[in-house]
Amino acid sequence: MTVTRVLHITPSVRLLGARRSLLALVRELAGTKYEPLVLVPSRGGLTDELEKHHIPFRELRLPPWRKGSSWLSLPSQVSSLRKLIQHEKIGLIHCNEIYPTPHSLAAASSGGLMSELASAVMMRRLIHPLNLPIVTHMRLSVTPRLIHNYMLEHTNRIIAVSHGAASDFDGYTWKERKVRVVYNGIDFTDFDRAAERREAIRARLGYGPEHFVIGQIGLQMPRKRPRFLIEAAAELVKLAPETRLLFVGEASPGQESYVAELRKRVDELGLQNHVQWIPFQQQVAEYFAALDMNVLLSNDEGFGRVVIEAASVNVPTIGSDVGGIPELIEDGITGHIIGAPKSTEEEFNRLTTAFAHLAYALIVEPERRQAMGRAANERARRLFNTACHAQAVSHVFDEAMEEYRRNQPPW
């Protein structure tokens, strides 16, 4: 077996969705023909897990591509990346998010570093061909401007995490050749353990068997629409006073005042005894296991990992009709979809009563809710396991390697 070393570049080490997906991927790829080496900007939650699972990593902080204040440091850092690629005998680069893509293109170019950097920064193109193939993961919506600025068309392949995400490339002549849809994979081990301790976990969090716990787990930001959930809860508790909301996660960077406003709104609505706030957690399986219903009401979501994490502990989700979410929820079977695909915020905010009635129906029909949870679990394990994910990503790597070899000059 010929082994290719793959450099997986991540711009962050926080154990949120993109890094959890990367961790699951490299654990599956270790020992296969695509041997992983992870490039991280610093130590943190991700590197703790990599060390635990004996996955090698290197540290190199790549400056933001689109900030003028970073351009002075770009040459030295991209030069370091080029040297690392050569020293580690890397055969393929996988950018876990779009942001390191231009750095990788410049570092992997066969041309002089300064001329390639200048062309990439000023013209958004390379002068010379690549020395190795590059695959980029696209996890959130991209605009034509982002596609251009991060030079995505110059990669060998782009992995979109859903068909909804891939639709951002509609209209590009190269979409059919370059873009592949690969759903994320989930490691169910921690969730299985948590499910066995559901009642104890709920008791520790202060929930009894009479409580109906609705959870939103992840960064708190306007995109996730937590304000909508709070407003809907004010209506739901009138129908079902045993309703509880569980928010797990901290404010997205720069959104601290927004979260303060959310807490103030909870107080204004008299929901203090119905809402619990838990700060960011590295391990989230126990919190999903405590839920009766999960929500993902985003206005932009490439995949929707929390839908699958909830499903892994038999918890259905009510989600918005956005991005990859409707590909993860079979409406009426594994959960519910609410809203239209292109709802404005004003239109979506009119749905609080509809949401409250959907949730109330799941409260008063526990057998139907449990059947939804079981169906969600079965579907999650069949379609979104780590083995399927790694196999599909490996196939994309195969395509990128073959295309790269095919385009090499005969000499």
Cα(59)–Cα(57) distance, rounded to whole angstroms?
7
Q: Which residues contact 394 (CB under 8 A, 6 or more apart)?
A: 29, 32, 33, 34
pTM of the model: 0.94
Handedness of CA 63, 64, 66, 70 (dihedral sign): negative
| 121 pLDDT more than 90 | no
Query: Which pLDDT score, from 0 to 100, does residue 72 have?
Result: 83
Q: How far apart are CA 117 and CA 107, in angstroms?
A: 9
Residue 240's Cβ-count burial label (10 Å; 0-12, 13-18, 19+) is: middle
Reply yes or no on whether the pLDDT at 180 is more than 70.
yes
Pairing mode of beta strands 57-59, 134-138: unpaired
CA distance 144 to 99: 15
- Per residue in 60-103, pLDDT tens? 999 999 777 777 889 999 999 999 999 999 999 999 999 999 99
> H helices of 138-276, where?
144-149, 163-166, 175-178, 189-196, 198-205, 226-239, 256-268
171-185: average pLDDT: 98
According to the model, what pLDDT value does residue 88 have?
Answer: 98
- As to burial, measured by CB atoms within 10 angstroms (0-12 exposed, 13-18 middle, 19+ buried), residue 332 is exposed
Dihedral over alpha carbons 17, 223, 379, 395 (to 10 degrees): -50
The β-bridge relationship of strands 4-9 and 90-95 is parallel
Percent with pLDDT over 90 in the chain: 91
What domains are there in the chain, each with its CATH number? 4-185+386-406 (3.40.50.2000), 189-383 (3.40.50.2000)
Q: Report the pLDDT value the prediction gives residue 71, as an integer from 0 to 100.
A: 74
pLDDT at 411: 60
Query: Is residue 109 pLDDT above 70, yes or no?
Result: yes
Distance CA 306, CA 68 (A): 35
Kindly report, residue by residue over 21-51, the tens digit of the pLDDT.
999 999 999 999 999 999 999 999 999 999 9
Does residue 123 have a pLDDT over 90?
no
Q: Give residue 410's pLDDT band: very low, low, confident or very high (50, 70, 90).
A: low
Smallest CA-to-CA distance from 236 within 202, 201, 271, 268 is with 271
Is the model's pLDDT at 321 over the cut of 70?
yes
pLDDT at 118: 87
Q: What is the mean pLDDT of residues 105-132?
A: 91
Pick from 389, 405, 406: which is nearest to 4 by CA? 405
pLDDT by residue (tens digit) across 210-263? 999 999 999 999 999 999 999 999 999 999 999 999 999 999 888 899 999 999
The span from the CA of 188 to the CA of 379, in Å, is 13
Tens-place pLDDT, residues 259-316:
999 999 999 999 999 999 999 998 999 999 999 999 999 999 999 999 999 999 999 9
Average pLDDT score over the chain? 96
Question: Which DSSP category does 138 fall into?
Answer: E
Q: Are residues 335 and 341 in contact, defined by beta-carbon separation less than 8 angstroms?
A: no
For position 179, what pLDDT does the model report? 99
Residue 36, classed as helix, strand or coil, is strand
